[in-house]
């Protein structure tokens, strides 16, 4: 969710103003609903005049405390995934570690996308895939985190494009989106999925690491 310092972001990004409804199609899902609070005023759009004229709010935390907050969050080890989808202007892929399973019935998953990213606005109301990376796929993680390498191999899924040879994948229809501060929480309804055997790519303390494949899965206990 909150990426490692130095690994994310790049110059020239848009300044955060979410305008999710614009140009978005519903991806065929009548269920998609946009939480009105996600209509960010961070970019100064659609603000009442008196608020638009107000000075920018103070940061929530001092820079050292924000750094400490990131460090504390970074102690939570996660897997690494790439969200892929066809936007209005282009095909997108964005590396995330905010992937979370949400619900079995219906099958829902969540990703948290920063408002400042190029993917943010274009993801609203669109089908997407979540690609869970294997241990040998850290170059792919970097490719979609602002350090592009060679073009990856794509699979044209019926719901959304996805990446070849990932550890697991979920093709999702848009379900809902909720305000998450400087991020938006996008929920997808899983339409199709699969996985293969192999070690998982993980991210902890701002570094990539490997989680060996477990010989004894505990899916039935969860």
Tell me which residues touch ligand FMN (CB under 6 A).
Answer: 1, 3-4, 7-9, 13, 80, 92, 94-98, 112-114, 117-119, 141, 144-146, 203
Residue closer to ligand FMN (CB basis): 13 or 165: 13
Query: How far apart are the C-alpha atoms of 106 and 112, rounded to whole Å?
Result: 19
Query: How far apart are the C-alpha atoms of 20 and 82, rounded to whole Å?
Result: 20
Residue closer to ligand FMN (CB basis): 106 or 148: 148
Give the single-character DSSP code of 31: T
> Residue 11, Cα to own-chain centre: how many angstroms?
19
Minimum gap (Å) between residue 103 Cβ and ligand FMN: 19
Residue closer to ligand FMN (CB basis): 54 or 69: 69
Helices (H), 54-182: 63-73, 119-123, 138-143
Q: Are 113 and 186 in contact (CB under 8 A)?
A: yes
Minimum gap (Å) between residue 2 Cβ and ligand FMN: 7
Residue closer to ligand FMN (CB basis): 37 or 147: 147
Minimum gap (Å) between residue 94 Cβ and ligand FMN: 4
Minimum gap (Å) between residue 5 Cβ and ligand FMN: 10
Q: At 53, list the tokens.
A: 């004229």
Matching residue, tokens 């961070």 = 42
């Amino acid at each position: 969710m909150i990426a490692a310092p130095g690994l994310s972001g790049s110059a020239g990004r848009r300044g955060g103003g979410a305008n999710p409804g614009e140009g978005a199609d519903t991806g065929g899902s009548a269920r998609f609903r946009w939480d009105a609070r996600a209509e960010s005023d961070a970019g100064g759009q659609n603000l009442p005049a008196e608020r638009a004229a107000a000075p920018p709010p103070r940061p929530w935390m001092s820079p050292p405390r924000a750094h400490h907050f990131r460090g504390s969050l970074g102690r939570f080890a996660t897997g690494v995934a790439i969200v892929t989808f066809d936007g209005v202007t282009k095909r997108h892929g964005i590396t995330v570690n905010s992937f979370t399973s949400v619900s079995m019935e219906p099958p829902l998953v969540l990703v948290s996308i920063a408002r400042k990213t190029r993917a943010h606005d274009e993801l609203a109301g669109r089908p997407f895939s979540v690609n869970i990376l294997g241990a040998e796929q850290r170059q792919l993680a970097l490719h979609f985190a602002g350090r592009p390498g060679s073009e990856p191999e794509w699979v044209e899924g019926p719901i959304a494009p996805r990446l070849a040879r990932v550890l697991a994948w979920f093709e999702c229809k848009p379900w809902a989106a909720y305000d998450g501060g400087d991020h938006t929480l996008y929920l997808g309804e899983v339409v199709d999925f699969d996985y293969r055997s192999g070690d998982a790519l993980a991210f902890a303390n701002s570094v990539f690491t490997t989680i060996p494949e477990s010989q004894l899965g505990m899916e039935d206990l969860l």
